[in-house]
Structures are given as C-alpha cells and as structure tokens.
Amino acid sequence: MVILKVIFEGLCPNCNGSISDERLLLGAPCKQCLPVAGRTLKTYSALPYTSYQVKIAGLLEKFGTLREYKTISELSRAVLEFEELFKKAVGSKLWSAQREWAKRVLKGVSFAITAPTGLGKTIFGMVMSLYLASKGKKAYIVLPSRLLVEQVLNKMEEFKEKTGLNHLVIIGYYAGIEKRKKEKFLESLNEGSFDIIVTSSRFITVNFDKISKYVFDFIFVDDVDSVLKSSKDIDKILRLLGIKEAELALAYKAIKLKRKAITMVKIGERQHVLDEIRRTRDEIETLMASRKIGVLVVSTATGKAKGERIKLFRELLKFTIGATTIGFRNIQDIYLERTEDVEAQVLKLVKKLGGGGLIFVGLDDGKSLADKLAESLRKAGIVVETCYGASVKPSVIRSFSDGDIDILIGMASYYGVLVRGIDLPHRIRYAIFTSIPRFKFKLEIKRDIHPFRLFVLLNELAEYMDKEDRKLADKLAVELKRTVLKLEKRKVDEVYEQLKKGIEGELSYYVNVCLKAIEFLSKVLRKKEVLKKLEKSPYLSIKEIEGQKYVLIPDVRTYIQGSGRTSRLYAGGVTKGISIVLCDDSKLLRGLIRQLSWRFEETRWLHESEVNWDELVSEVDEDRRTVKLIMEGKIPSRFKDLVKSALLIVESPHKAKVISSFFGKPAQREILGLKAYEVTTGDLTLNIVASKGHVFDLVSDKGFHGVLVDEDKFIPVYATIKRCSNCGEQFTDDVKQCHYCGNEDIMDSMDIIRALRELASEVDLVLIGTDPDVEGEKIGWDIMNALRPYVADMRRIEFHEVTRRGIRNALKNLKAIDEKRVNAQLVRRVEDRWLGFELSERLWRKFNNKTLSAGRVQMPVLRWIIERYLDFKKSWTVVFRVKLSNGSVIKLTGLKMDPLKVKNELEGSMIRILDISEDLVDRDPPPPFTTDAMLREASRLLHFSAVKTMRIAQTLFESGFITYHRTDSIRVSLDGINVAKDYIVNRFGQEVFKGRKWAPAEEGAHECIRPVKPMDARELMRLIREGLIRVKGITLDHIKLYDLIFRRFIASQMKKAKLKVQKTKISLKNIAEINHEAIIDVVEPGFTLISPIKLEPEITGKEKVISVMFRREPQILPYTQGEVINLMKERGIGRPSTYATIVQKLIDRGYVVERKGRLIPTTLGFKVHNYLTEKFGDILSERVTRDLERKMDMVERGADYQRILLEEYREIKSLS
C-alpha cells in the first residue's frame, strides 16, 4: 500500500506544481490536476504503461487540465502507432531496444546505435522510414553495399503492402541498376516525387549534387564505417539534414580548438582557448535554433569509426559513436606444459575441440613452426589456412565463417592479423597459444629497440631497481609516454628508424628522449644487484640464446587480444570461449596470470587436468547455436526480450564514466547539459548518467522548518537544490540571486531531473545505482519518485566495488528500494534541520552572527575537543630523553630533581640491569580498515584531514580501486580473501597466507575497506602510466592512501608474527629505576613482511649514557582529527558517512582550528560551547545524542519513523 510520505515541490508532470510521493509512485499528476482517487488509478495499472499514459491524458483532457502531460501522452500515442505498424510489417513485436530507438526518433533526437549484428538495426531503420513517410516526412536510408540496397528495396515494398502504405513512393539506386529503373529513379529524384530514398554510401560521394537540394526529416545510416571511407560524406549527410555550410565550418573550428587545448600546458592560454570553444558552440546553437533539423541515426556493429570529421556529430547533434569492445571476458583460461612434440599436442587439442579454432604461434618459433603445425593438421584431415600478412583474404574469412576451413594459424603478435582483425562470434570457439606470448629484450640494450618496447621495459624492470633508479625509470617512462608515444603510429615508427640508424632529422627531439632511456637502462642492467633480482623474479625470465643474454617478459596485451577473439558480444550476451596456453616457461606463465588478474579480476586459470571438457565444450557450442539463430532472425524461446533498454543512475559523473568503460568505448549523448554514456552489455542497452549527489532537500518556508505537521503526522516538503556558482552555498528557495553573495548564476538541480526524465521516457527499465548506504537510498528514492510518471519498471542495484565483477553481479541481482533505509535518512535529515535551525537562530541572536550553527553531534564533539585541550594545558612537565651507547632512548618523567643536576649526574654513567628477560610473543595482524580506522591512520601517518581522506577514498572507490569506503564492518568477503591470496602467495609464498573473514557474513552486505584487485600501489601506478588503466585525477596523495589501505588489508590476511621481546628493569645511577620493553627481533615475520615493525637495540647491561636532553613537554596532546573520529566510533556518535563532515563543520564555523595536525578550540568555540551547555545541556548531551543514533538504527531495522519524529518534535518544541 502506498502511503503519503513527503511532498515534492515542482514535480507534478502536468502542472509543475507540488505533488505527493503517493501520486508520483502511481505515475499520476497531482490531485489538483487529476481529482481521481488513487484506488481508481490503480485499476488502470494492468494496462501496458504507454496505454496507461494515454488513459491518464484522456482523464486530464476530460477535466480540462491537460498541460505538460500532453508531451508524455503524445509520445506514447506515437509509440503505440509505430508498434502497430512494426507488427504489421515484420510480424513480431518491437524489442525493448528498438522501442528505445523509436522513442528517440519520435522526440527528434539524433544518436548512434552501437550494437552487435542480430539486434534488428536495419529493420528498425526501414520501418521507421515508412512510419515517418506516412506522416508526410521524407526519409533517406544509406547502406554499405549494392546487395543490401537491393535487399532493403525489395523488403520495403513487401512492408508497404503488409501495412497498407502502397501510396508511398520508395526509390533506390545501386551500381548495375537496370536502365529503366535508373531513369525512373533520376526522374523521381529530380522532381522530388518520392517519400523514401535508398542508396549506398557511394551514391552520396558521387552524386551529391543530385540530392543536395533536399532536406530530409530522417536519415538512417546503416554501417557508418562505410561512410567514413570518404570523410567529406559526413559533411554531405549533415547538409542533407538541413545544417548549413557556415555551421559545419564553425563546428570544425571547435574540433580543432579542442585538439589544440588538449596539448596546451599554460593554464591561462588553455582557458582562453576553452572560452573560444564555448563562444563557438554558442554561435552554432544560436544559428541552428532558428529552424528544424532532421534526425540522424547511424548504426555500427563494431564502433571502429575514426577520424576528425566524425566529431562533427558531437558538435552539431550532441552524440558520439561508441565501440563494442566489451570489457566482460567470458573465457576459460587453461594451461598445460609444452612438450618437445608441439605438433602432437596441438593436434590432440584440435581433435578434442573440433573446428572454429585459432592457433597463435610464438614469434620465437616463427613461421617455421606455423607451417609444421599446418602440415601436421592437414595430414589428419583438418582444413587449415595460415595467415601471416597484413590482412586475411576475404575468401578465407568467408570459408572459415561458413565452416569450410576448420583452423586459422597466425603469429602471436599484438598487431598480428588474427590477434586484432577477426570478429566471428558464431564461429570462433577457442584459441591455442603454442607458447607464452612474450617480449624479448637483449640485456645489452642498444639503439635497435622500438620506443613502445622501451616503454614496456622501463615499466617492467622498475620494481627490480633501487629507490633512486626506480624514480628515474618512472620519470623516463612518463616522458616517453607524453612525447614519443603521443605521436601517430607512423611517426613512432619513423622515430624508431632514425634511432636505429642514428639519423638526424625533424624527429631528433623524440630520438633523444629514447636515447636517454636507453642509456639509463644500459647502466642499470650492468648492476649486479639488479641482475640478481631479475634472475630471482617469479614473473620474468633471463635466458641465454646463442651466447646473448635476454630478458623475457609476458606480453599480456597480445594474450588479451588474441584470446578475446573467442568471447564476443552478441545480441543477448557474451559468448563463452576457451583459451589454451602451452607453457614453455613457468615464470612467464606466473607473470601472465598476475597481469591478467590486474585487468580482469574474475579470471580463473585451470590446468588441463582440472577441466571438465565435455561440460565446457557444451557451453561454448550452445552459445554458438544461439548466435546463429539470432543472426538468422530466429530468436530462441528463452529470450523474452532480446536486449532490454535501461537507464543506470549513479551519483558521480566520474563513476558513470568508469562503469561505462567496462563495456567498451561508450557512445555519448548530451541531454540538457547532462552527459550520458551508452553501452551494450549483451542483454542490455545501458545508458549511464550521474545525479551528482542529492537532488532534493527540505524547504525552509513551509510548516515547522520544512515539515508539515498534521496532528501527530509529519510530512516533509522537498524541493530541488539550488547551488550558487560563485560561493557554492546551496538552498531550496526559488530565488533569482544567492542569499549569501548576491550572485545571479544559480544552478538548479531541476535541470538534472528534466534530463533524467527525458532519458527515462526512452527506456523500459531504470536502475538506481546510488551509493549503498542510507544517503544513497534516499537519493535513489527521490529519483524514483521524480521519474515514475515516465517509466514503469524501476529497480535498485547495489554494488560495493566499482569493478566489472561488482557491476555484473549487481545487474543480476535487481531489488526494490529499501523503504526502511529511506525512513532512517528522512528522520536524520528532519532532526538535523529542526534542532539545527532552532539552535542556530538562538546563536544568531546571542552572538549577532548569522554564520553560526549548531548540531546534535557537533556539540558533544566540540566538548571533547575542549576538555582535551584543557587537560593538555595542565599536563606540561619536564621530560628527559636518555640516549644509550647502543642507540636506545629512554624517556623519564616525574623526576623532582634539578634538571641540570640530573643531566650532569647521568651523562657518561653506566646503566645497571636489575632484571632482564626475553619472551617470544605472537602478534596478530590488525583487522582491515573501517571508515574510522582509515581516517585515524591517514591522519596519523599521512597527516591528511578527515575530509581530504574521504574525498580521496571516494575517488579510489569510484575508480574501481577499493571497496565502498563508508563502512563500520571489518568483514572480508570470499572475493576479498581471494584477492589477498593471489597477492600473498605470488609475492611471499603460500606458507604466510592465512585467510580471515574477521566477522560473520550475518553482519550485512557491507565489508571492510579493501583493494579490489591483487595490485599494490607500485603496480597500480605502473598500469595507470602505461594507459592500461584509464583514470583521471589520480595524484600522489591517492597512491599514498591506496598504499595504506592495501598494506593494511594484505597484512590482515597473513599469518601472525612471532617476535622476540626484551623486558628490562634498569637503574640509572640511583636517580631512577625504569621498566623498559622493546621488540628486538622478528623470529617469524608473518604479516610484518608487508607491514614492518620497528626493532629496537638489545640491552646487554654494558651500555653507557652518552647524552641526556630535557625540556618541558605536555603529557597529553590535543586531539587529531583521526583521534576524534575514533572517539566518535567508540562512543556511538555519528556514522561513517558523517564522521568527516562533523569535524569539518567545527573548523568551518570557526569553533576549532587545526595547528600542526592538532585540534585547538577557539575563543568563539568556548563561548558557543558554554552558552549551549548552559541553556541546552541535556538535549545536547552525549547520552541523548547516542540514544538518538540508536533510534535511527531502529528505524533502519523497521521501527515506526513517525513515532520517532513525534518524540523529537516534542523535545525540540520544549526548547521554547
């Protein structure tokens, strides 16, 4: 049952007025617009949602109140009409993805379809052209080949007859067309007596003058890659939409300016170019706003379209083209030991697996082995072709695709034709690598090394160098990447030729960059300690070949590309593939497995003996049968809807971009200023956008501080958040200028809601992917309410790590919004508002200062800081530091003697041992981080403020490096244990690994803060530098925090350490007797291998006092931010999501300052604390605050939130 919970201002989909969540969740306008009871509206809910929207519009029309909802109903009516026409023409219903495309076209939106073959792109373009033509509009279908033009023309004539649209005139042209048909085509084209035109892309190139006089309402380009064979064709297509030459020129100017800005270093000059880009785009928008532009839909199965002019789509039509290089890798990786008889091994595998295989021969083995393998397979009756050149003959590809060729053999090279140039999801089933793909470098580095290989070598060898050399290696690698490797591939090859031959030329600067790196590596590789480390490395090999020493490094890129041919995206999923490696070097295999796990955390390797071959082959073959059926237009019965259209909403733009990258290069669209990333996951066309955090907040001008009070019921009133672009303040009032600074540039979150509504109106499913806590739940609930009138199906997805695995699992486990979490956040926000406003108003009057504020949690925390500061002031005393001859330092306090006398007496004296013992002590590793522990340690070790730590952790989470960072849990999941195991076993050995859950699974879905991949900070930096992980904004501070989190987590999964502890009782010349305890040795290192413990010198009794220093010092220090947060956790005040902001508010309001990392109360802080304690001490006590936290936890578990609000209301009202 839907019960009224809140009122949203401005969200009625019809009048833009106030509306309850009750009405929004019914998908209906407000009661003022539609005076129909909710129970009546529910009787219409059985209708399809488009029909429901049409019904609602009819009721509004009946009451004479139809306004903005008319847009919704008109789109629904048009979709229903199109669906009916589609069913008549094709004989089947629209798929969800096709419905999404239809809605976009009907709204007048241009876009790219980047989707695999079999999704019905061409059929959609044909039927949409017919529909629009039936409405008196002109359509143009552009196809890649003559054959397709003929097929489409014939099919459209068939569709005309089925749909009763025989009056429409469809004309077409293709090479070899009959003379009579050609003459009729040209006559109709010249006179304009046609509704739809169908041609190949070449027709536009050759005959543009014949069609340039027309402006088309709809252009459908099937296979945009073919259009790009002549880049000017893009300009021509855009002109056929009604875009003028002047607008094209301005758009191309913006493209060149953007390219220029990217290369600029000086901020001022770059900003000048960015301002010019903005002015140019504004001019384009002004010119194009004066007339209607046609709709362009371009489709591609691969998304390989490249070139500068394709960027015109972005500048003029607000979309870009993506690519379907999918991030999911559905491959079973298998290894077996290579024997001397490789031909027999390969033959055995091919016989077991059958046709549809690729064989990759190592570069060291070369064509010689490839030819031997081909001969061996042919003798066994297997049809084989070898592919060595720059491309494979089309006839070979066709024969292999059709099953006439069983096996293709090529070289295991990154740019090899089979590694990168073949995409046959219905045919390629497995790949066999005859050796570990590798890079091979001479240890004696010379000029004949390619810049790319030089870059790889710098990165790979850096971990074996000392600290100083490692820094220089990193610097040289960055310089190579930013200079030489930024050039076009052709230019990089020219640099290589000049480097090799010692030629001076225009590329000398780049040659010199390479030479610096070569000289450095030559020097480093002559160092004995480096060579020893290389020889001991478990991840690379040193081999002597024909008297020359080489270093061999696994080539993971080639392996990913080559094996990836076996697992491809199709309309419905990702095909299962098999990749088999014949291991000729166990170290290289270990290195390959390690590097693959960094990129694909779900990878699991099996030895051939562990494989259930029958089950695996069956799964592979089932996928190929499915793909073939889909390509033939026969959809398997298990697919209710082949590919569903969905909108995924997250909080952060950075997170949206990272998630989209898991599925290939996303297409992009801009909707009312909001960037949307569009990808295909196989079973979803997924649009990913960001809400940018909270969109709504309580109003300040309704009820009791934004809450309507109706007897004992409380109804909060929410409005969109407005933010001042100048000072950053936010408010909900609908004003024209900022209350605080007077600035008139106000950003309203309603713009985000409008954009989200536009996107939601196109799809069949909305996924709420906000953060997995009460704040994220409330943001998601708000968005769900705002979008419900536009889409029927809305679900919650929850992920605790931004990884392929995390997102994939979340998409498989859709759930409902947790109303209990929403209620808990609502109570927290209302209580914060009530108490905050009431106390703040009193502070304003008392101190005549409207910048002051107070909150229930802030005040106890301020009290702790003040009390600690007062203790600090009282704790000053003389402290002696006695340094012994063995390096130990002993601290003395509480001596009543004259300090100078103590110093003179002790210096030069011998210590006397009164008692001494040694014990072996087991020390457990610390648990992994919770939020408070992370904040404490980042404050102690890195000197980060709490806000800075949380900001950095947020970026690390959104970038897919750590799990969710707002958590009270130390629980470790099985995935987490496996991450640690991979790292520990490979780095330190099986014997030191000890997997620990640390807490039972019942603790909840949250787990500790941990890395999501077995990749330490150095490896992370390397992958970012190499471009294998593409993220922006990662600084040295991010790496420092990641390192802290990583080491703490890995330590938590290692064995305990056995330490030797010495306890001594020492007499210092009868002046003092002290007990001294020190760790003097690590007997069994355990977790100290990753988290070292500082050792102290052993005391023998022969030590002499060599110096005595003394000074007055405090025995109690003011709190650090980390210590305050630890206290908040211990005393049950605050939550992981609020720890940092509570401390920061005290600093921002001027109640506390931070000096040398310590929190010091200000005079204002003392005054505010004293006033509030005197007047409202009970309500602001630590006990009452802790009790409220407990009540909020109860609400999250299902307690009546209205009862809690009533208790708080009465308490706060009692203040007056």
| 3-state secondary structure at position 1209 | helix
What is the distance between the alpha carbons of residues 1008 and 969, in angstroms, rounded to a whole number?
5
| 3-state secondary structure at position 233 | helix
Q: Which residues pair with 708 in a beta bridge?
A: 715
Is residue 214 within 8 Å of residue 190, measured between CB atoms?
no
Amino acid sitting at position 515: L
What are the phi and psi torsion angles at 365 (to 5°)? -75, -35
In 350-374, which positions are buried (b, 16+ CB within 10 angstroms) versus exposed (e)? beebebbbbbbbbbbbeeebbeebb
Please name the residue that has the structure tokens 């926000």. 829
C-alpha to C-alpha distances, 151 to 131, 141, 684, 875, nearest whole angstrom: 19, 12, 29, 92
Residue 1176: both structure tokens together: 């409202």
Residue 1105: both structure tokens together: 């006092």
What are the phi and psi torsion angles at 144 (to 5°)? -80, -20
Is residue 794 within 8 Å of residue 814, measured between CB atoms?
no
Nearest Cα residue to 1119 out of 866, 876, 935, 949: 866
Q: What is the DSSP string of 785-838?
A: HHHGGG-SEEEE---SB-SHHHHHHHHHS-B---HHHHHHHHHHHHHHHHHHHH
Is residue 551 within 8 Å of residue 308, measured between CB atoms?
no
CA trace torsion 1084, 1086, 1091, 1092 (10° rounding): 10
Is residue 360 within 8 Å of residue 437, measured between CB atoms?
yes
| 3-state secondary structure at position 1173 | helix
* End-to-end C-alpha distance for the chain, whole angstroms: 38
Q: Which residues contact 43 (CB under 8 A, 6 or more apart)?
A: none
E runs forming strands in 571-673 = 573-574, 577-583, 605-607, 644-650, 667-671
Residue 257, CA atoms < 13 Å, CB-side half-sphere? 20
What is the distance between the alpha carbons of residues 897 and 892, in angstroms, rounded to a whole number?
12
Is residue 726 within 8 Å of residue 16, measured between CB atoms?
no
Q: What is the DSSP string of 995-1006?
A: ----S-GGG-S-
Strands 407-411 and 357-361: parallel
Residue 855: both structure tokens together: 């909150």
| Catalytic, out of 173, 539, 964, 983 | 964
Amino acid sitting at position 187: E
Residue 930: both structure tokens together: 């919770």
Instruction: Determine the angle formed by the axes of helices 489-501 and 451-461, rounding to 10 degrees.
Output: 90
Q: Which helix (H) or strand (E) is 1074 found in, with range?
A: strand 1072-1084
Instruction: Identify the DSSP state of 644.
Output: E
**Assign residue 696 a region: left if phi > 0, alpha if psi is -120 to 50, beta otherwise?**
beta
C-alpha to C-alpha distances, 1094 to 35, 1074, 1078, nearest whole angstrom: 75, 21, 10
What is the distance between the alpha carbons of residues 787 and 390, in angstroms, rounded to a whole number?
51
Q: Which helix (H) or strand (E) is 404 found in, with range?
A: none
For this structure, is 964 an active site residue? yes
Q: Which residues contact 458 (CB under 8 A, 6 or more apart)?
A: 473, 476, 477, 480, 517, 521
Active-site residue set: 964
